Structure formats: structure tokens, C-alpha cells
Amino acid sequence: MKIIIDLMVLYKGTDDNFLFGAVRKELETNLVPITGMEIEDSAWKNPVDFKVVDQVS
């Protein structure tokens, strides 16, 4: 099963400057994702939990 994770990134800089972007990661796994599961990645400080799980056929 392929899992696609989309993260929205918001960064507040000095003088209220904001940088916004999106990050996508695709994983191949045997696990079935459910809402509330957490995933860790070395690029992130803390685990991120799944807010929405959509199954695509």
C-alpha cells in the first residue's frame, strides 16, 4: 500500500514575515493507516499524527 503524506509548513520570521509551503512524502508499507496514528521522520522535530485518512482506489 502506498501512503501519501502532505504537510503544510508555516514559518513566522522577523517583522511578521511568513513563509508557507507544502511537503509531500510517499511511503510504501504493509500498515493500514488510521486517523490518530503518528509518523516520525528525521526531518521533523516531533512526530506528526494523521488528521485525515483517505483511501484512494
Cα 35 from chain centre: 12
Q: Which ranges of the chain does DSSP label H, i.e. alpha helix?
A: none
Whether residue 56 lies inside any domain: the answer is no
Which set of grid coordinates corresponds to residue 47? Answer: 512526530
- pLDDT tens-digit readout, 4-54: 888 777 777 777 777 778 888 888 989 888 878 887 877 777 777 777 666
Whether residue 32 lies inside any domain: the answer is yes
* Longest pairwise C-alpha distance within the chain: 45
User: pTM to 2 decimals?
Assistant: 0.56
How many structural domains comprise the chain?
1
Residue 15, phi-psi category: left (phi > 0), alpha (psi -120 to 50), beta (remainder): left
Given this model, what pLDDT does residue 29 score?
A: 86
State which residues form the domain around 19: 2-49
Whether residue 34 lies inside any domain: the answer is yes
Whether residue 57 lies inside any domain: the answer is no
Place of cell 528525521: 42
